[in-house]
Amino acid sequence: AQKITQTQPGMFVQEKEAVTLDCTYDTSDPSYGLFWYKQPSSGEMIFLIYQGSYDQQNATEGRYSLNFQKARKSANLVISASQLGDSAMYFCAMREGRYNQGGKLIFGQGTELSVKP
């Protein structure tokens, strides 16, 4: 069963507008973490934001925020005030279990975001 689902293969957004990238996950472990990464055409994976399963508040990092809805098992990424440099692939990832001996990240298939001038 797929553990991380990103249903939007591609998205377009106008510069300066906000955009939401969807991510749903599946786990029975009460302890898990959710991550979003950005991958520009250069290939490097850039960490954006993290949400722990026990965190009470939604994570925010600058223009990035994570809309965490635990009951729905969704962890959508919201990018406010899009910039041309935001055009990239975006991956949602999940890590299950205790953080003590190397973490296995499970990635979704990604969403390609294109920001239009």
Partner 1 sequence: ETGVTQTPRHLVMGMTNKKSLKCEQHLGHNAMYWYKQSAKKPLELMFVYSLEERVENNSVPSRFSPECPNSSHLFLHLHTLQPEDSALYLCASSQEAGGGYEQFFGPGTRLTVL
Question: What does the binding site for partner 1 look like in residue numbers (CB under 8 A)?
Answer: 4, 33, 35, 37, 42-47, 50, 91, 93, 95, 99-110
Residue 50, Ramachandran bin (φ over 0: left; ψ between -120 and 50: alpha; else beta): beta
- Measured CA to CA, the distance from residue 90 to residue 77 in angstroms comes to 9
Three-state SS at 81: coil
CB closer to partner 1, 56 vs 98 = 98
CB closer to partner 1, 81 vs 103 = 103
CB of 16 to partner 1, least distance (A): 28
β-pairing, 74-79 vs 64-69, is antiparallel
CB closer to partner 1, 17 vs 94 = 94
